[in-house]
């Protein structure tokens, strides 16, 4: 005969007695001092629990009996199903209920006795984590439910465990104060400050922990801007919620932006200047105020510096002897220092205008005048033929010609601070060898190579 019982502790010894055919009587131990006996046909009323006593923990039954009609014979059968501790799946059919019950008792006894042999397993879990995992498995109907339970907690339960979470307006004010003392670059601080403020003014003033992905989706849908700007909004808002999640604050335990996606439209290939436009731009820059902004034009057009990188450049970072420009981490977009080789054409322009500031006072006004001189700017009634100045157009021109000159994805990516896939996607085949030869022949007047 097999013996089985269920106690408050899963490792307790189990006892059960199989009675006359078709009935099973079980002895269930409630606690070490008191027992209740349930016999077929007779029941003993359970003892009354004091009001201040907590109910015993209920554990899952590892093996269950389910009745069904056998489709082959048309008779009623009983199925014992469950999983052993080693993961073996049990699914056995019986023609009699008594046989199924006996098998259930046998399997459950083996399950409660745990493993009969000691097996060493390598694990990174601590002893406390192992015990927590065992307790979690005991409270679930199936081992496969554990990942589902964790996912449900992360999505719907964890955010409600925050003890204190301020309103969005209060959190944004604190975020703005933090930005003033942060080590972020000025452009990054301004971007975060503006976008997060717009977000806070556009949504209900709820607790930070109560902001959902749906609230962010609704905010982005109402924004009448390009998809790229919406994605920039999403990334700025995500940075704000990551700040709120920091251990020092713990105002929320989940970043709702992680579940938000902005569909991007396919971007056109970056615009570049043709050789004639480059020649005209350099000629006009040389004549304008005695070449006041020639150094800025030269490093953008030949070295491919981004506009804000050129504005942060000083002559201390220019090594004309070795033909290099070094940008420090605070001067680059990626925050990683970069060394740029100076081509002969750029070297000639820098030597001809050495010492002039790369970003002189009233630079914006002077640059707008220069762009209009070569046919770019904002259309007006007086200037209806002006074309809009493409973003980073001088950088795109420099990258296109450099790749044609070298034919190397890696060398081009290192020179301009991009990745090889970006170079391959946007810059190969943009200019011809003849154009590149003419481009690098653009030198200051009366300058000999």
Residue 358 lies in a domain: yes
| Number of compact structural domains in the chain | 3
The residues, ordered by sequence, that sit 6+ positions from 31 with a Cβ below 8 Å of its Cβ are: 8
Give the number of other CB atoms < 10 A from CB of residue 100: 21
- pLDDT tens across the length of the chain (449 residues): 444 444 444 443 333 333 333 333 343 444 444 444 444 444 445 555 555 555 555 556 788 999 988 887 888 898 999 888 777 888 898 888 988 899 888 888 887 776 444 456 677 888 888 888 888 877 777 778 888 888 887 777 665 566 688 999 999 999 999 999 988 888 889 999 999 999 999 999 999 989 999 999 999 999 988 888 899 999 999 999 999 998 888 898 889 999 898 887 777 788 999 999 999 999 999 999 989 999 999 999 999 999 989 999 999 999 999 999 999 988 888 888 999 999 999 999 999 999 999 999 999 999 999 999 889 988 888 888 889 999 899 999 999 999 999 999 999 999 999 899 999 988 989 999 999 999 999 999 754 44
Are residues 240 and 372 located together in one domain of the fold? no
Residues in the chain: 449
Residue 447 lies in a domain: no
pTM for the structure as a whole? 0.55
CB 418 within 8 A of CB 412: yes
> Which H/E stretch holds residue 149?
helix 145-152
Are residues 172 and 290 located together in one domain of the fold? no
Are residues 86 and 232 located together in one domain of the fold? no
Residue 351 lies in a domain: yes
Residue 158 lies in a domain: no
Residue 184 lies in a domain: yes
User: Of 259, 288, 323, which one is at a domain's C-terminal end?
Assistant: 259
Residue 5 lies in a domain: yes
The vertex-142 CA angle with 141 and 145, nearest 5°, equals: 105
Residue 380 lies in a domain: yes
* 362 DSSP assignment: T
Are residues 253 and 279 located together in one domain of the fold? no
How many CA atoms lie less than 13 Å away from 20 in the CB half-sphere? 3
User: Of 259, 285, 313, which one is at a domain's C-terminal end?
Assistant: 259
Are residues 106 and 179 located together in one domain of the fold? no
Are residues 300 and 236 located together in one domain of the fold? no
CATH classification of the domain holding 314: 1.10.443.10
Are residues 301 and 370 located together in one domain of the fold? yes
CA diameter of the chain: 117
CATH classification of the domain holding 191: 1.10.150.130
For CA atoms 324, 325, 329, 333, the dihedral sign is negative
At 5, phi and psi to the nearest 5? -160, 155
Are residues 295 and 424 located together in one domain of the fold? yes
Tokens of 309: 């990188």
**Structural domain for 28, as ranges:** 1-47+56-116+133-139
Are residues 403 and 283 located together in one domain of the fold? yes
Rounded-to-integer distance, Cα 91 and Cα 68, Å: 13
Q: Residues 113, 114, 120, 121: what is their CA dihedral angle, to the nearest 10 degrees?
A: -170
Rounded-to-integer distance, Cα 157 and Cα 154, Å: 6
Are residues 83 and 178 located together in one domain of the fold? no
Rounded-to-integer distance, Cα 201 and Cα 166, Å: 16
Residue 418 lies in a domain: yes
Rounded-to-integer distance, Cα 79 and Cα 64, Å: 8
CB 184 within 8 A of CB 192: yes
Are residues 103 and 222 located together in one domain of the fold? no
Are residues 280 and 228 located together in one domain of the fold? no
Number of helices (H), then strands (E), belonging to the chain: the values are 16, 10
């Amino acid at each position: 005969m097999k013996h089985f019982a269920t106690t408050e502790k899963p490792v307790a010894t189990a006892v059960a007695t199989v009675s006359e055919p078709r009935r099973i009587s079980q002895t269930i131990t409630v606690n070490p001092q008191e027992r209740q006996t349930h016999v077929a046909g007779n029941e003993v009323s359970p003892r009354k629990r004091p009001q201040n006593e907590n109910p015993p923990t209920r554990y899952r039954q590892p093996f269950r009996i389910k009745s069904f009609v056998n489709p082959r014979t048309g008779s009623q059968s009983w199925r014992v199903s469950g999983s052993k501790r080693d993961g073996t799946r049990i699914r056995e059919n019986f023609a009699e209920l008594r046989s199924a019950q006996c098998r259930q008792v046998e399997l459950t006894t083996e399950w409660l006795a745990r493993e009969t042999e000691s097996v060493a397993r390598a694990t990174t879990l601590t002893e406390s984590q192992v015990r927590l995992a065992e307790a979690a498995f005991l409270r679930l109907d199936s081992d496969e439910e554990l990942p589902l339970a964790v996912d449900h907690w992360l999505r719907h339960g964890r955010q409600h465990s925050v003890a204190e979470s301020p309103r969005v307006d209060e959190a944004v004010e604190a975020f703005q104060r933090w930005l003033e003392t942060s080590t972020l670059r000025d452009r990054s601080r301004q971007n975060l400050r503006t976008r997060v403020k717009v977000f806070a003014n556009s949504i209900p003033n709820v607790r930070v922990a109560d902001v959902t992905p749906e609230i962010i989706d609704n905010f982005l849908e109402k924004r009448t801007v390009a998809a790229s700007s919406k994605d920039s909004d999403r990334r700025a808002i995500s940075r704000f919620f990551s700040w709120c999640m920091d251990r020092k604050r713990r105002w929320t335990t989940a970043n709702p932006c992680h579940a938000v996606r902005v569909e991007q439209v396919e971007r056109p290939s970056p615009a570049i200047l043709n050789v004639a436009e480059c020649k005209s731009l350099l000629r006009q820059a040389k004549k304008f105020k005695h070449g006041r902004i020639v150094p800025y034009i030269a490093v953008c057009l030949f070295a491919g510096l981004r506009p804000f990188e050129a504005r942060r450049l000083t002559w201390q970072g220019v090594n004309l002897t070795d033909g290099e420009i070094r940008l420090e981490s605070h001067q680059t977009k990626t925050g990683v220092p970069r060394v740029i080789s100076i081509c002969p054409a750029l070297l000639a322009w820098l030597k001809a205008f050495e010492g002039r500031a790369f970003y002189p006072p009233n630079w914006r006004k002077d640059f707008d005048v220069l762009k209009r001189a070569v046919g770019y700017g904002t259309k007006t009634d007086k200037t209806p033929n002006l074309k809009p100045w493409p973003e980073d157009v001088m950088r795109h021109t420099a990258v296109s010609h450099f790749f044609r000159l070298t034919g190397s994805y890696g060398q081009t990516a290192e020179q301009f601070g991009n990745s090889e896939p970006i170079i391959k996607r946007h810059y190969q085949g943009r200019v011809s060898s003849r154009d590149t030869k003419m481009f690098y022949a653009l030198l200051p007047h009366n300058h000999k190579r």
